[in-house]
């Protein structure tokens, strides 16, 4: 732990402030640090100093208070990004602070900290949620420096993703209008391509499959991501896209096996297309005759899958006859149907990025991640983690027993020939090792 941060408790109305170096912020670095602000509300000077030290390596502007009175006296118009809040405070408590934050329409994250037990922490967290606050998974005392840093880094990463998603949404229609990149026009002009993102077996350390992902190859601007042309697509165009993706997965598999890599390919599909399209007919006509064909995986999102479990079970049974299995896609920490997983006819469960990003912090998300993996295994399903971007995530998922992973830590989506070249390069490297 670093020790160059304020060593004394803050006086009422005068928060202890420090830049990332522990010195008063000034100049260009101060401007950068001011973009990230963390507030510590705890009446124990030692805890405040511990948090200052834990956050010292991160570019943040720090402030400390010991009570709700000090928070209100020292409140500034510029909201902090995260508030670390102890449950029991001098002359007040966390509920008082929560009410004050809600009254001031605080929009940052609230990180509860306490040694009073998980039950009380969860109760206070629910109170904050009822007041409309963004309550992060509680952090029980005693905590480690790494846990505090993971909270802040994870929160900033989440907000960055939300800003990127909002920017994409705001600009999508303008881009569509300027480029004419509706899915219907993409299909009509033959601009559609399919890329493959490899899936790595985390225990065996080898590539075992790939997900088929749609891309638009615009004649002037090159590759355009699906976030531009898929959200506003109509049902008919999405159905055509699904049929083309199935066809690509069935016909392209031959090139993989010819190169010596009989991968299991996966295709995203909506529940409506699963119910309406003659998928078993397409597979029966285009299914590879090679005995090494491992079958095909269709990925359906969790929210769609629970609409009609009985119907999904019936379709899954028919598809399995033709070598097709279903994957439950986009399982996140808010997965509300975990107890019903045994009713769903899925051979694979996919953890989404929100769960993967929080799998190593030891909080509620990590617990949900571990529980989902354990339950899926008891039911005989394979678990795939998507969106793996950091080695810490890979290590945590491997320790939890997750079977397969995919994400930019391994490789981005790429053309089929590029993936085959990558597989050949890896095979040669292993042969020479």
Question: Are 99 and 223 in a shared domain?
Answer: no
Contact 33, 50 (CB under 8 A): no
Tell me the CA end-to-end span of the chain in Å, nearest whole number.
Answer: 40
Question: Are 144 and 189 in a shared domain?
Answer: no
Residue 91 falls in which region: left (phi positive, over 0), alpha (psi -120 to 50) or beta:
left
Query: For the chain, how many structural domains are there in total?
Result: 2
Domain boundary among 152, 169, 204: 152
Question: Are 141 and 208 in a shared domain?
Answer: no
Question: Are 233 and 304 in a shared domain?
Answer: yes
Measure Cα distances from 294 to 67, 111, 170, 202, 248 in Å: 62, 46, 41, 19, 16
pTM (2 d.p.): 0.61
Query: What's the domain range around 382?
Result: 180-432
Q: Is the dihedral of CA 411, 414, 420, 425 positive or negative?
A: negative
Domain assignment of residue 2, yes or no: no
Domain assignment of residue 146, yes or no: yes
Contact 13, 70 (CB under 8 A): yes
Q: Is 8 exposed, middle or buried (0-12, 13-18, 19+ CB in 10 A)?
A: exposed
The predicted structure's pLDDT at residue 170: 55
CB atoms within 10 A of CB 236: 11
Contact 118, 140 (CB under 8 A): yes
Domain boundary among 137, 152, 167: 152
Residues 24 and 26: their CA atoms lie apart, in Å, by 6
User: Which of 402, 388, 386, 321 is closest to 350 using CA atoms?
Assistant: 386
Question: Are 129 and 184 in a shared domain?
Answer: no
Mean pLDDT by 10 residues, the chain (433 residues): 34 34 32 64 84 79 81 72 85 85 87 81 86 86 81 82 65 56 84 95 94 90 81 87 95 95 94 84 90 93 68 82 88 59 80 85 82 88 93 94 95 94 86 59
Question: Are 318 and 187 in a shared domain?
Answer: yes
Domain assignment of residue 165, yes or no: no
């Amino acid at each position: 732990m670093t020790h160059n941060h304020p060593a004394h408790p803050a006086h009422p109305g005068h928060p202890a402030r420090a830049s990332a170096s522990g010195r008063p912020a000034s100049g260009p670095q101060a401007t950068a640090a001011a973009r990230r602000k963390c507030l510590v509300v705890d009446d124990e000077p030692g805890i405040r100093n511990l948090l200052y030290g834990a956050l010292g390596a991160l570019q943040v502007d720090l402030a400390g208070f010991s009570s709700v009175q000090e928070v209100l006296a020292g409140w500034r118009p510029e909201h902090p990004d995260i508030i670390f809040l102890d449950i029991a405070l001098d002359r007040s408590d966390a509920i008082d602070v929560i009410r004050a934050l809600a009254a001031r329409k605080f929009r940052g994250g609230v990180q509860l900290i306490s040694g009073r037990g998980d039950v009380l922490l969860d109760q206070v967290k629910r109170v904050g949620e009822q007041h409309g606050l963004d309550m992060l998974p509680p952090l029980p005392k005693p905590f480690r420096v790494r846990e505090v840093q993971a909270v802040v880094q994870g929160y900033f990463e989440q907000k960055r993703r939300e800003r990127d998603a909002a920017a994409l949404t705001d600009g999508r229609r303008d881009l569509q209008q300027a480029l004419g990149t509706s899915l219907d026009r993409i299909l009509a002009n033959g601009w559609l391509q399919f890329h493959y993102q490899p899936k790595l077996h985390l225990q065996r350390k080898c590539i075992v499959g790939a997900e088929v992902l749609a891309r638009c190859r615009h004649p002037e601007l090159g590759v355009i991501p699906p976030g531009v042309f898929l959200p506003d697509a109509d049902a008919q165009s999405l159905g055509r896209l699904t049929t083309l993706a199935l066809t690509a997965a069935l016909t392209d598999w031959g090139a993989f096996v010819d190169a010596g890599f009989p991968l299991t390919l996966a295709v995203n599909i909506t529940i409506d297309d699963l119910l309406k399209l003659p998928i078993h007919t397409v597979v029966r006509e285009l299914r590879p005759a090679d005995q090494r064909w491992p079958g095909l995986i269709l990925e359906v999102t969790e929210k769609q899958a629970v609409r009609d479990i009985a119907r999904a079970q019936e379709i899954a049974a028919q598809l399995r006859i033709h070598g097709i299995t279903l994957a439950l896609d986009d399982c996140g920490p808010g997965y509300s149907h975990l107890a019903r997983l045994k009713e769903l006819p899925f051979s694979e469960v996919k953890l989404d990025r929100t769960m993967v990003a929080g799998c190593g912090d030891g909080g509620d998300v990590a617990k949900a991640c571990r529980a989902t993996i354990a339950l899926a295994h008891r039911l005989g399903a394979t678990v795939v983690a998507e969106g793996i971007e950091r080695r810490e995530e890979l290590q945590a998922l491997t320790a939890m027993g997750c079977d397969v992973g995919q994400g930019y830590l391994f490789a981005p989506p790429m053309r089929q020939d590029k993936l085959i070249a990558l597989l050949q390069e890896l095979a040669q490297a292993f042969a020479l090792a």
